Structure 1
Amino acid sequence: MKLDKVLAAVLSLADAAAVSSRQDTTNVSSTPALGYDELWLLQNEFYERFMYPNNIKEARAINSTIFSDDVQGRVSDTRNFEGRELNTEYIFGLFTPTDAVSVIGRPIGPYEILQFAANQNIASATTRVGFIFPSFKNLSLPVTIDTWISWNSERQITQYDVTFRWFGYLFETLLLSLDSDPTNATAKAVNALATSICSTHTRYCNGTNTQYDSPEDCYHFLTQEIRVGQSFELGMNTLMCRSVHEIMVRYRPDVHCSHIGKDGGGMCDDSMSYAFKVDEKYFTNSPWIPQVF
């Protein structure tokens, strides 16, 4: 299907969903049988909204209607995200332009769905998305994203499980764009990331939201008292985790300042073991295995 036809179909689907949201009194917690074709359009609708600059509009909405109120989200190398507002921030706001130094890039496209399977209200897809990384010399790279997504009868996302494939390799590629010597590259990245986080803290985290006694205290903690973090440690007690959450501070300092602070605010700590992550039973909104009719 050509891109223009996909876009036209997505817009038609969005109009239909708007009508459905006003007229459909079906229990949204039920498991609808949406069918392959509609799930394909819903998958494309998500990525159309995810692309810059469309993601700016979604982020400004505070509560994007693409999500259900009780949406549950999980991103493999970070943490779990509950509710529409938090997911709007992390799925859309996190990828919008920012003054922060960050390994999080901007999805400028194009995107291409490489693999897709769908049944009932569930779709599994592998999508390649073009990103630009402003903090790393505006390097442009493709990023492969694996998703499992379920929708309710109002065509809202109720659950998603996401993996950024080969993220470790991407992380190393970004670092080496700063310097061909890995040690120097890491040192440059640590200095830039820590300085950025501390600047954000000084600007937004005041009063009861204050996490550090001074910019010097902040910088020392981030560069000397915690580890930088490997690619799978974006939800652990690392500089990298706090860098991810720094972008969110501007949206709700009362919620996110603690995430860049010393104790990590429940988002950046070492409380979860490998076994816990593997065995965690998190999703409750809808079965991941389609029902047999």
Structure 2
Amino acid sequence: MKLSFWQLLVCLFILMHFGQCQKWPNLPQNKNKIYERLYNATYRLLSSLLAPTCSQVLYNDNNIQSEYISPQGLSGRVLPIGTFPSTILALGYFYGSVCPTRNISAEENSIQAFDLVRIAYDEKYLITHVEFIAHLRTNRRLTFITSIAFDKDYKLCGYDGQIRNPGLTLDPRTDEEHEIKINTICNIEQRYCTGTLQQYSNSSDCQQFLRTKIPLGSFDRADQGNVICRFMHTFYVPSFPSIHCSDLGPTGGGVCIDKTVDFYYNQTNFLACAHTQ
């Protein structure tokens, strides 16, 4: 059977169109598969913030970090807690802030459960934008609004987020609570920061400095030169004393220091590591 010119043209168009569809990576059905994988990766990552998984990842039990963290590295920030340009800092803060430290009673800010309120997907990169509510051990709640970047294997490589109203939720309400924060800092420093890592000659000197030389501050300014910043870093000292002991000391270790607003605008793109869909 012979085909007319127009019939041949129609057949050629259909074949070309079908071939393009086969090669085009972002058809609706492919997008849905990508978004499904992004949802699963995000939910699995948030679940890893719960005990005991968070501790296992923090200490890399049985090389478990390789299941969650990209081999290309990790960086991120969570305001107003801090900015973390290296893998060891980004990993330590991501898990250390919310996970009970081994051999120490559970931190008051450890997460007991979470609610994933909403999730949105970037159209071009493996990035999710999430809002989740963390239920803390103290029966308080914190809302996190965070963008999360994944590599080609859907493993975490970057994050950039904020906490809603941390000061209103966590700030000391009484002088007694203020003193508890100071005593915690000094007890942790005296126990873990020994030898060349020592920051104060004794506990009394530590308490005197924290009471008279720097302000109490607020969890709304938890990366500034105040007592609250140093208290936050007591979560990390037991796991990484060589990195964080100086954060408790008089200098603030270059971390618990006052920063200008320009500091926050002059940071790298923590989501640039995300793989293209």
Q: Percent identity?
A: 22
Contact 1:67 1:84 in 2 (8 A): no
Tell me which residue corresponds to 1:259. Answer: 247
The answer as to 2:173 corresponding to 1:170 is no
Q: Which residue of structure 2 aligns with residue 113 of structure 1?
A: 116
- Rate the CA distance shift 1:218–1:56 in 2: closer, same or farther, 3 A: same
Offset from partner CA, 1:102-161 (integer Å, 9 cap, x none): 6x511111x22111111330100111222113xxxxxx1222111101111122211101
Shift of residue 284, structure 1, vs aligned partner: 5.6
Q: How many residues matched?
A: 238
Contact 2:76 2:270 in 1 (8 A): no
Shift in alpha-carbon separation, 1:264–1:286, aligned structure 2, 3 A: same
Q: How does 1:13-28 map to 2 (within 5 A)?
A: none
SS at 1:232 equivalent: helix
Q: Any gaps of 5 or more consecutive residues in structure 2?
A: 1-30
8 A contact 1:113–1:128 mirrored in 2: yes
For residues 149 and 216 of structure 1, the distance between their equivalents in structure 2, rounded to whole angstroms, comes to 43
1:276 aligns with 2:263: yes
Does the C-alpha gap of structure 1 residues 93 and 284 become closer, same or farther in structure 2, counting only changes over 3 Å? closer
TM (normalized to structure 1)? Answer: 0.74
Q: Does 1:126 align with 2:131?
A: yes
Name the SS of the counterpart of 2:268 in structure 1: coil
**Does the 8 A contact of 2:160 with 2:271 survive in 1?**
no
Match of 2:69 among 52, 67, 70: 67
Where structure 1 has 5 or more consecutive residues not aligned to the other structure, the ranges are 1-32, 134-139, 177-184
Which residue, 132, 157, 180 being the options, matches 1:192? 180
1:217-249 per-position Cα deviation (integer Å, ceiling 9, x unaligned)? 111011111000123211111000000111211
Aligned partners of 2:82, 2:176: CA distance in 1, in Å? Answer: 26
Aligned match of 1:50: 49
Q: Which moved more, 1:118-127 or 1:62-71?
A: 62-71
1:145 aligns with 2:148: no
Q: In 1, Cα distance between the equivalents of 2:106 and 2:184? A: 6
Cα–Cα, structure 1 residues 43 and 107, in superposed 2: closer, same or farther, change >3 Å? Answer: same
- 1:97 maps to a residue whose letter is P
Deviations 1:171-197 (A, max 9, x none): 24xx34xxxxxxxx1x11221111111
- Tell me the residue number matched to 1:4: none
Aligned alpha-carbon RMSD (Å)? 2.4
Alignment of 1:222-261 (within 5 A): 222-261=210-249
**Does the 8 Å CA contact 2:225/2:257 hold for their aligned counterparts?**
yes
Contact 1:72 1:81 in 2 (8 A): yes
**Partners of 1:101 and 1:200 in 2: CA distance:** 14
The answer for the alignment partner of 2:93 in structure 1 is 90
d(CA) in 2 for partners of 1:93 and 1:54? 12
Distance 2:153 2:54 in 1: 21
Q: Name the larger-Rg structure.
A: 2
**Partner Cα distance (2:251, 2:212) in 1:** 15
CA distance in 2, matches of 1:131, 1:96: 10
Displacement of 1:285 in angstroms is: 5.8
8 A contact 2:159–2:270 mirrored in 1 = no
Q: Take 1:88 and 1:122, find their aligned partners in 2: how far apart are those partners?
A: 18
Instruction: Give how far 1:101 is off.
Output: 9.4
